[in-house]
Amino acid sequence: DIQMTQSPSAMSASVGDRVTITCRASQGISNSLAWFQQKPGKVPKRLIYSASSLQSGVPSRFSGSGSGTEFTLTISSLQPEDFATYYCLQHNSYPLSFGPGTKVDIK
Amino acid sequence: EVQLVESGGGLVQPGGSLRLSCAASGFTFSDHYMDWVRQAPGKGLEWVGRIKHKGNSYTTEYAASVKGRFSISRDDSKNSLYLQMNSLKNEDTAVYYCARVAIGWAGEYDPWGQGTLVTVSS
């Protein structure tokens, strides 16, 4: 089974900061990775698919990169509505697996 | 309106069983794979399992943590998805979401249900 790790597990940042979150897979998953944003009490929302493709309607300050085992989600200029928890999901092979999440809160 | 509504959650003792249901409406249920995803209180997301459609022989896949204890089924005539949970453990306590797997799946669930809480405790 493929294990997903994320770093950092939590971070504090200010509005306007550039934020980078890393997701690593225990084995290669090509580009079969999605990024989700979850706010408290809400269902997750997909931001990025196929590692680097932006979901329609998602602001362009979000971007994804990577392939194989290492992936990053970058928020170029953090906005107040971006404070949330972010998860990666590998869907290259069963069982699917989410990363443990990265909580981004206000500094 | 595309909608998923879960039911069947509640309090159950360790070792017990529970069956969750997910009622689908507003789309052709039989065309879609369906997943269960759970989230323990204050914790992250965990993929539970998937059932494919008739065209893929209703094949199921499971997370290692539930394999052999949980079983996913569907009744396309009733637009319903089920999760049979046996030998429940404290660590199965979570909100359970059903989710429609989007056509051309690349990690998109569209939509998610509102979730149903399962509490495993003595």
The string of pLDDT tens digits covering residues A69-100 is 999 999 999 999 999 999 999 999 999 999 99
DSSP B63: -
> By the CB < 8 Å criterion, does A94 face chain B?
yes
Chain B residue numbers touching A85 (CB-CB < 8 A): 44
Task: Provide the pLDDT for residue A70.
Answer: 98
Task: Provide the pLDDT for residue B19.
Answer: 98
In the predicted structure, residue B104 carries a pLDDT above the cut 90: no
Task: Provide the pLDDT for residue A7.
Answer: 98
Q: Find the residue in B nearest to A96 (Cα).
A: B47
* Best mutation target, A5, A46, A96, to test chain B (most B CBs within 10 A): A96
Task: Provide the pLDDT for residue B60.
Answer: 98
pLDDT band of A106, cuts 50, 70, 90: confident
Task: Provide the pLDDT for residue A53.
Answer: 95
A·B CB contacts under 8 A: 59
Task: State mean pLDDT over A42-60.
Answer: 95
Q: How many angstroms separate the CA of residue A43 from the nearest CA in chain B?
A: 7
Task: State mean pLDDT over B92-121.
Answer: 93
pLDDT band of B103, cuts 50, 70, 90: confident
Contact B108 A33 (CB under 8 A): no
In the predicted structure, residue B110 carries a pLDDT above the cut 90: no
What mean pLDDT is reported for chain A?
96
The H or E element containing residue A89 is strand A84-90
Q: How many angstroms separate the CA of residue A53 from the nearest CA in chain B?
A: 10
Q: Find the residue in A nearest to B42 (Cα).
A: A40
Closest Cα partner for A92 from A50, A29, A45? A29
In the predicted structure, residue B105 carries a pLDDT above the cut 90: no
Task: Provide the pLDDT for residue B106.
Answer: 84
In the predicted structure, residue B24 carries a pLDDT above the cut 90: yes
Contact B46 A98 (CB under 8 A): yes
Q: pLDDT by residue (tens digit) across B40-99?
A: 999 999 999 999 999 999 999 999 999 999 999 999 999 999 999 999 999 999 999 999
The H helix count followed by the E strand count for chain A is 0, 11
Sequence-separated contacts (24+) of B53-60 with Cβ below 8 Å? B54/B30
Task: Provide the pLDDT for residue B2.
Answer: 94
Q: How far apart are CA A32 and CA B107, in angstroms?
A: 8
Task: Provide the pLDDT for residue B90.
Answer: 98
**Pairing mode of beta strands A102-106, A10-13:** parallel
Bond from prior residue into A8 cis (ω within 30 degrees of 0): yes
**CB-based contacts of B41, cutoff 8 Å, min separation 6:** B93, B94, B95
**Pairing mode of beta strands A84-90, A70-75:** unpaired
